[in-house]
Amino acid sequence: MDAIAVEPGAGEPALFEVPVPEPGPGEALVRTLRVGVDGTDHEVIAGHHGDVPAGEDRLVLGHEAVGVVADANDTDLEEGTVVVPTVRRPPNGPTDHFERGQPDMAPDGEYVERGIVGAHGFMAEFFTSPAGFLVPIPEELAPAGFLIEPISITAKALEHARASRSAFDWRPESALVLGNGSLGLLTLSIVTERLEYDRAYCLGRRDRPDPTIDLIEGLGATYVDSRETPIPEIPAEYEPVDVVFETTGYAKHAFETIDALAPNGIGALLGVPDDWTFEIDGGRLHRELVLHNKALIGSVNSSREHFESAAETLAALPAWIADDLVTGVYGLDEFERAFVDDDTTIKTAVEFDRI
Ligand code: NAP
Ligand code: BGC
Ligand code: ZN
């Protein structure tokens, strides 16, 4: 079967012929439908994040998948069920975090991530997975089912952000998303369509006309150009915001978030930056956090429960959002187009098969 993989140093993905995998005990065989591409895939291809499986010389890409159970094997799944796989797996048998259903909270070394760190991904015509890591979804969600994994990332961040403000009567009114990539725009969609904030902002660095600005404004949010309004100036130009979701991977934004926040606000950091050394006004920022009850959290990955709530969120989002967000779905004969990352692309996917 065909698989899309990257060899370290190659700088671009390529098609490889690999054997169809055999499901082991407790595993199902899944026929892949579509697999999304995100910023992490580009970071993996560039060699800035992730790793090949131990002892291997390439990594099959893809962690945002949707497929159909082709062989249920000895599991309780039914053949023909549409499923979305979760990303993390225990490398050497179950550990506490996996047994608690919280692989997203596992420390380094206690997990591999399919398609990212130490385990092959889902960009192949078939993949196997333990049934417990396959989340059944309604068949009508299949075409956009590759959006469930990134939505689950926001679902987790939101849960942790809310939990960190749960000790008092918190009434957030405004939210700011930093970044107009696929994760940022999905997060903004959730903010405007599913949450009760009165006002939403989204930061980018693009000139009009631009499809992401159209989407931001179509969602009723305000586009903020970081070249004109640096993040620390957002409170004066617009308002101090109650919640910030950082999805740029631009390290200075993590600290600038503190200035954008209103008293009692929370910033959730999701981007994964490269190493970068720069100066910050440490004393003032520390004082801001303390004297105004502000908080910053980091959040990575997601659990099965977040996937389940993400499937509900996807089902509830107006269909035009996925239509505008997904700028291209490409078959194996033109898979390279799914990895083009320019100002005309927002979210892309590779299609391996149809239901
Ligand atoms: P992406 O498509 O590359 O999006 C990043 C966006 O941020 C781009 O649209 C980029 O704008 C914008 N941006 C970067 N620097 C900016 C600046 N200084 N001012 C304004 N906008 C800026 O990537 P993605 O798939 O959405 O993912 C975003 C980040 O989240 C990545 O670092 C990824 O690794 C990370 N991520 C983390 C998790 C997690 O579990 N924590 C999950 C998924 C992704 P331009 O396109 O105009 O350059
Ligand atoms: C994936 C997460 C993963 C993270 C860090 C993200 O793009 O969606 O599942 O934990 O990258 O590798
Ligand atoms: Zn991802």
Domain ranges of the chain: 2-136+318-351, 152-298
For domain 152-298, give the CATH number.
3.40.50.720
Q: What is the rounded distance in angstroms from the CA atom of residue 23 to the CA atom of residue 31?
A: 12
Q: Which atom of ligand 1 is nearest to the CA of 272?
A: 32
Give, for ligand 2, the residue of 37, 61, 63 to mutate: max count of ligand atoms closer than 8 Å to Cβ.
Answer: 63
Q: What is the pLDDT of residue 93?
A: 85
What is d(CA 55, CA 38) in angstroms, rounded to the nearest whole number? 26
Calpha distance 296→175 (Å, rounded): 14
pTM above 0.95, yes or no: yes
Ligand 1, atom 16, residue with closest C-alpha: 248
Q: What is the pLDDT of residues 310-331, one digit of tens each?
A: 999 999 999 999 999 999 999 9
CA 251-293-163 angle, 5° bins: 80
Block means of pLDDT (10 residues each) for the chain, 355 residues, are 98 98 98 98 97 97 99 98 98 92 97 98 98 98 98 98 98 98 98 96 98 98 98 98 98 98 98 96 98 98 98 98 98 98 97 96
Q: Using one digit for the tens of pLDDT, what is the confidence trace for 218-268?
A: 999 999 999 999 999 999 999 999 999 999 999 999 999 999 999 999 999
pLDDT tens-digit map of 278-306: 999 999 999 999 999 999 999 999 999 99
Structure tokens at 10: 């190659």
CATH number of 2-136+318-351: 3.90.180.10
Report the Cα 282 to chain-centroid distance in Å. 30
Q: What is the pLDDT of residue 94?
A: 84
Residue having the nearest C-alpha atom to atom 42 of ligand 1: 153
By the 8 A CB rule, do 121 and 114 touch? Answer: yes
Residues with CB under 6 A from ligand 1: 38-40, 43, 150, 153, 179-184, 203-206, 226, 247-250, 270-272, 299-301
